[in-house]
Amino acid sequence: MVILSSAQIHDWDAYTIRHKPIRSIDLMEIASTRCVQWLWQRTLPHQPIAVFCGKGNNGGDGLAIGRLLSARGRKVAVYILEAGQKGTDDFQENLAGLHQTPAEIVYLQSPDHFPVLAAGTMIIDALFGTGLNRKLEGLAAALVEKINSYGAEVVSIDMPSGMLADGSSRGFPVITATHTLSFQCMKLAFMLPENEAHTGVVHILEIGLMPGFLAQLQCDTLLLDIDLIRAIYKPRKRFSHKGNYGHALLIAGSKGMMGAAVLAARACLRSGVGKLSCLSPECGYSIMQTAVPEAMCSTNGDDYLTAPPGHLEQYAAIGIGPGMGTRDDQAVLIKELLSGYKHPLLADADALNLLAKQPDLLSQLPAFSIITPHPAEFDRLFGPQSNDFERIEAARKAAARMGIIIILKGHHTLIAMPGGNAFFNSTGNPGMATGGSGDVLSGIITGLLAQQYAPEQAALLGVFLHGLAGDCAAKRMSEEAMIAGDIVDHLGEAFLRLVNHPTP
């Protein structure tokens, strides 16, 4: 699924109106009808409904929703934010239609006119949509704060009012929605942690915009979905052997942190790699041999790794970082690795923290290498960012500038590609916010790289499978009880669902 800017969404509407052809008021009616169908299943027959409308086209949607609900017998009051000017043409036409129903219509000209709502009222927020491009002030801001103070269930239409589609709304007055009913495609604002408290549960409603618009659009931001992943996935051939699936090396572990190495190694093996070698310090040798008997083990150093192994050319892929430690002398290990291995590799966790201490080494990563920072690690690598929008833009620019793949971990993990494209993941759940989850992701991607997936493919497939395995685990374990090892244990189910089921 594409993720479009507010300008692109406006252009898609215009393209549909021009080519279908269809009047804009009729397209608004389709969108409003879809919202009413959704609302009808979630409101009680005698539940009062309060619709708050601005005077733009988002407000026009609200008027149409109020008219349709009132015509169906629901008790509806419509509150119009008075801006001292006439509404859009579609707003005015829908206002005329609303006057033909029993719905109550109230104009809000000052805070003194803000209503007192009965307990149990459902609020429909149709004040401002994706076209908003500035912080709300004055009466509009006061109304948003008043709506939030009701403590009612709030359903926002298209966007929670006050939220910007293409920029940060941090610190702005924004509606806190229980549900957001948006149209046709996801918006970038819905992907970001800073907006989670305001969007509630997002529902994308199909309203019949013409797909031909997307064919001519150069869209560089996508939601990672099952269709794209199935196009990447390569089933095994019947006459294959372990040599066909690569030899991976994981450089991981230190005293007290061998669990990270174990999790990464188990995940790497479950990803389908042919052979796995693990390099750990001497203190971890018996742990690795016992916990991961399928892997080959070698050591250097007593409690911490001190050098990469020899003969690096024998490995189809290398992953480095989980539980490794961040001693200053370990930067030498990374320097030696980068001077001797010129294929794409994966760097995570402590490897990233070591690279942050010596930025000159970061520039030496082989082209199409993959790094997997969480937001704090990203800021240490590339400088502090004031909001999620800035961090995403910085990740895209850094990936293009350095020719690497940046996986910025989060609920909707971002995969920024060297060519400029960006993907947000659609799998995963809050139960995966647990120690070791990132180590599992590192192991999966390292294993996929070893199997000769292109780095871009390994990043996308690895992130999707990691989230899907977490979703499988959550259904059986609960989000609260899930631990990182459960993600590894459910990778098999994730592969089966990828292959055998139409949807994840």
- Please give the average pLDDT of every successive group of 10 residues along the chain, which has 504 residues: 93 95 96 97 91 97 98 96 93 97 97 96 97 96 98 97 96 98 96 95 96 90 94 92 94 98 98 98 97 97 94 97 93 94 96 94 96 97 96 98 97 96 97 97 98 98 98 97 98 93 50
- Tokens 């990447």 correspond to what residue? 232
Give me the pLDDT at residue 504, please: 42
State how beta strands 346-347 and 275-280 pair.
unpaired
Q: What is the CATH number of domain 226-232+243-500?
A: 3.40.1190.20
Give me the pLDDT at residue 325, please: 94
| Residue 28 φ/ψ, nearest 5 degrees | -65, -40
Give me the pLDDT at residue 83, please: 84
DSSP 193: G
Give me the pLDDT at residue 501, please: 58
Give me the pLDDT at residue 249, please: 98
Query: What's the pTM value of the predicted model, to 2 decimals?
Result: 0.93
Give me the pLDDT at residue 328, please: 86
- Structure token digits, residue 270: 């479950």
Distance, in Å, from the CA atom of 489 to the CA atom of 352, rounded to the nearest integer, reads 27
Q: Residue 19: count other Cβ atoms within 10 Å of its Cβ.
A: 11
Q: How open is the CA angle 198-154-76, to the nearest 5 degrees?
A: 155
Distance, in Å, from the CA atom of 346 to the CA atom of 321, rounded to the nearest integer, reads 9
- Contacts of 405-408 spanning 24+ positions with Cβ under 8 A: 405/368, 405/369, 405/370, 405/371, 405/455, 405/456, 405/459, 406/370, 406/371, 406/373, 406/378, 407/370, 407/371, 407/372, 407/373, 407/441, 407/445, 407/459, 407/463, 408/373, 408/374, 408/375, 408/378
163 three-class SS: coil
Give me the pLDDT at residue 74, please: 94
Helix (H) or strand (E) holding 59: helix 57-71
- Residue 422 φ/ψ region, left for φ over 0, alpha for ψ in the -120 to 50 degree band, beta for the rest: beta
Cβ atoms of residues 177 and 195 within 8 Å:
no
CA distances from 112 to 116, 122, 145, 381 (A): 11, 21, 14, 51
Q: Which CATH class is domain 3-219?
A: alpha beta
Q: How open is the CA angle 227-366-349, to the nearest 5 degrees?
A: 75
Measure the CA dihedral 35/40/43/44, to 10°. Answer: 160
Cβ atoms of residues 279 and 328 within 8 Å:
no
Cβ atoms of residues 345 and 252 within 8 Å:
no
Residues 6+ positions from 17 with CB-CB distance below 8 Å: 23, 24, 27
The domain segmentation of the chain, as residue ranges, is: 3-219, 226-232+243-500
